[in-house]
């Protein structure tokens, strides 16, 4: 082959190679067409990926360690539980239909020494002394008993730790042996015994943080009402009245509050007992009424479907209608509502009323004497039947034990103007009272109470024959002197607890009295009441006692709210 042929062959062989390069080889951009930032971005992405991988590796290692720790703890717990000789003696209350008989604190005595008892109580305090020793202070309706738990077969350290870590205020069931402590336990109400725990089960666990501690509420509230961080001389928190009432359920758990509520219960019970023994009938009158019959400014208005209704200020008109219905002797224990914007120590917008109404044959003093004997009975029996509760209250409120009753068992009674004269002798300006312009002020009542206590040695007395100008329309005027009325008020420690009177039972006289007081007999709400007297009604009298005030003044409490379960006043609608 000559040189021309060789050259031609080479040229033909190169042409397909060139065509393949154009169509099959990957395209590479020209260096000048590439983004100058591309290499930097690629580097950052690589770094970010490395960091993410490192973090993921760290997180994984942490998670593996945590999982291993949890597994180890579970294994230890399982091992401890397996080795816990007391695992069935504490913890959640076992589910069973068998009820273990329990003993109340009030039943505990020396007869229980060295015997096993089961009690249900709240945890007032819990503390671990050591790995082998813990203490509980148990509380039941204010009373306290100490319990102790020590490591000794079958009691385990785990059980001791559990017992000492119980949340305060939790309700527990404790079984143990009653022992006599070497030294009386001063911090316990029942100081001459303690319980050595054998079993402890949770019935109801309290929250770890409470809005206030019951032990702090056991001290009486300060005399001033200012809120804030207050502590006593020992640095312990002072719980104010507002804080107590805001957390009333906790406050009710104190020994003092428990005792006060027993006194309240006792007043109602004794009132009902006396009335029933006298042949009286227990009634329930409406609290929703269609008209503000006893004064529009002092009633609460409520929506009653498509019209307005009112909360009853008292059962007065209905008691009288019952008398007209030949029931002769009736009583009621029920709420009373007063829309009075009075923010005082003795006023509430809702309180418990003890009302009665009774016929008489000759003179209204028959009923007045009946009411005096009723109050003397209640106050005397409170001292006898509730001596232990009074002693408890006296620790916080010293006046609780010093209420003075008439020595001869008869209430001191004097006329209203005799009370005015006593105040005048003491230098008090009584010109408004002498002119029948105003009733006694609160300050006058208190001063008169002090005068009578010093002069007659009693905290309970009655004023009779009030001026007609300060009494309601249904009050009977004194037939001998129309300026006065056949009405009376009862006082304890110089403050009113009851208002009562003979009622007008003649329809014409009643209508005249209404007009004299600025009321029209034909106005809404009086029709049914007045019709009762048109049918004839026996002479009668009665009164309305304030339960909360009786408790307050009998115990010498500084505020009526302390004698009310869940008080209502112009500032309070909860709890």
d(CA 555, CA 267): 12
106 is catalytic: no
**In contact, 474 and 487? CB cutoff 8 Å:** no
d(CA 264, CA 351): 12
Catalytic residue among 346, 493, 540, 561: 346
**Which of 247, 245, 233, 239 shows the shortest CA–CA distance to 217?**
239
> What are residue 352's DSSP bridge partners?
335
Cis ω for the linkage preceding 317 (within 30 of 0): no
- Distance between terminal CA atoms of the chain? 121
Catalytic residue among 496, 511, 561, 564: 496
Pairing of strands 143-150, 90-92: unpaired
What is the dihedral sign for C-alpha 88, 91, 95, 98?
Answer: positive
d(CA 537, CA 283): 18
Catalytic residue among 499, 513, 561, 564: 499
Q: What does the block give as tokens for 529? A: 């009441």
In a 10 Å sphere around its CB, with 0-12 CB exposed, 13-18 middle and 19+ buried, how is residue 381 labelled? middle
Catalytic residue among 112, 157, 196, 347: 347
**In contact, 341 and 292? CB cutoff 8 Å:** no
Q: What's the alpha-carbon Rg for the chain, to the nearest Å?
A: 41
Lookup result for tokens 């408790």: 551
338 is catalytic: yes
d(CA 17, CA 12): 10
Catalytic residue among 122, 198, 244, 338: 338
What is the dihedral sign for C-alpha 521, 522, 524, 530?
Answer: positive
**Which of 326, 302, 322, 320 shows the shortest CA–CA distance to 312?**
302
Dihedral angle over CA of 458, 459, 461, 467, nearest 10: 130
Q: How far is CA 95 from CA 89, 92, 100, 155, in A?
A: 13, 9, 12, 22
**In contact, 257 and 219? CB cutoff 8 Å:** no
347 is catalytic: yes
340 is catalytic: yes
**Rounded to the nearest 5 degrees, what angle is found at the Cα of 115, between the Cα atoms of 114 and 119?**
125
Catalytic residue among 340, 350, 369, 512: 340
d(CA 555, CA 549): 10
Catalytic residue among 503, 549, 561, 564: 549
496 is catalytic: yes
Q: Which active-site residues does the annotation give? A: 338, 340, 346-347, 496, 499, 549
């Amino acid at each position: 082959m000559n040189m021309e042929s060789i050259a031609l062959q080479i040229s033909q062989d190169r042409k397909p190679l060139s065509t393949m390069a154009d169509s099959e080889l990957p395209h590479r951009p020209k260096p000048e067409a590439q983004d100058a930032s591309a290499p930097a971005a690629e580097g950052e992405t690589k770094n970010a990926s490395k960091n993410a991988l490192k973090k993921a590796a760290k997180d994984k290692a942490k998670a593996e360690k945590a999982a291993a720790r949890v597994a180890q703890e579970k294994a230890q717990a399982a091992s401890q539980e397996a080795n816990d000789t007391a695992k069935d003696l504490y913890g959640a209350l076992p589910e069973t239909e068998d009820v273990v008989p329990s003993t109340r604190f009030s039943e505990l005595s020396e007869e229980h020494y060295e015997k096993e008892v089961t009690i249900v109580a709240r945890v007032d305090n819990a503390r671990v002394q050591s790995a082998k020793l813990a203490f509980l202070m148990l509380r039941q309706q204010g009373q306290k008993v100490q319990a102790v738990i020590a490591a000794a077969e079958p009691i385990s350290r785990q059980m001791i730790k559990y017992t000492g870590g119980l949340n305060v205020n939790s309700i527990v069931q404790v079984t143990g042996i009653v022992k006599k402590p070497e030294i009386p336990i001063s911090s316990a109400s029942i100081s001459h015994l303690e319980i050595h725990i054998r079993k402890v089960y949770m019935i109801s666990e309290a929250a770890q943080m409470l809005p206030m501690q019951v032990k702090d509420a056991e001290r009486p509230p300060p005399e001033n009402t200012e809120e804030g961080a207050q502590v006593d001389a020992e640095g312990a928190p002072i719980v104010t009245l507002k804080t107590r009432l805001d957390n009333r359920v906790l406050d009710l758990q104190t020994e003092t509050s428990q005792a006060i509520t027993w006194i309240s219960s006792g007043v109602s019970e004794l009132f009902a007992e006396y009335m029933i023994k006298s042949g009286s009938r227990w009634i329930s009158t409406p609290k929703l009424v269609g008209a503000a019959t006893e004064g529009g400014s002092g009633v609460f208005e409520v929506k009653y479907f498509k019209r307005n209704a009112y909360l009853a200020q008292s059962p007065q008109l209905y008691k009288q209608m019952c008398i007209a219905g030949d029931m002769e002797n009736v009583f009621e224990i029920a709420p009373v509502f007063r829309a009075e914007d009075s923010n005082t120590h003795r006023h509430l917008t809702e309180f418990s009323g003890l009302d009665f109404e009774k016929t008489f044959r000759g003179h209204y003093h028959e009923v007045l004497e009946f009411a005096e004997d009723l109050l003397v009975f209640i106050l005397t029996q409170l001292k006898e039947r509730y001596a232990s509760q009074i002693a408890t209250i006296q620790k916080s409120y010293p006046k609780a034990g010093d209420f003075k009753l008439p020595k001869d068992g008869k209430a001191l009674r004097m006329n209203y103007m005799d009370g005015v004269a006593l105040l005048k002798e003491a230098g008090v300006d009584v010109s408004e009272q002498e002119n029948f312009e105003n009733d006694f002020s609160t300050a006058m009542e208190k001063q008169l109470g002090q005068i009578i206590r010093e002069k007659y040695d009693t905290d309970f007395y009655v004023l009779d024959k009030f001026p007609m100008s300060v009494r309601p329309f249904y009050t009977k005027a004194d037939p001998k002197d129309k300026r006065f009325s056949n009405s009376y008020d009862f006082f304890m420690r110089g403050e009113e607890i009851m208002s009562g009177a003979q009622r007008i039972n003649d329809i014409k006289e009643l209508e005249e009295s209404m007009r004299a007081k600025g009321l029209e007999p034909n106005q809404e709400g009086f029709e049914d009441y007045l019709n009762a007297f048109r049918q004839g009604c026996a002479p009668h009298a009665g009164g309305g006692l304030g339960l909360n005030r009786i408790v307050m003044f009998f115990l010498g409490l500084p505020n009526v709210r302390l004698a009310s379960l869940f008080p209502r006043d112009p500032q309070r609608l909860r709890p």
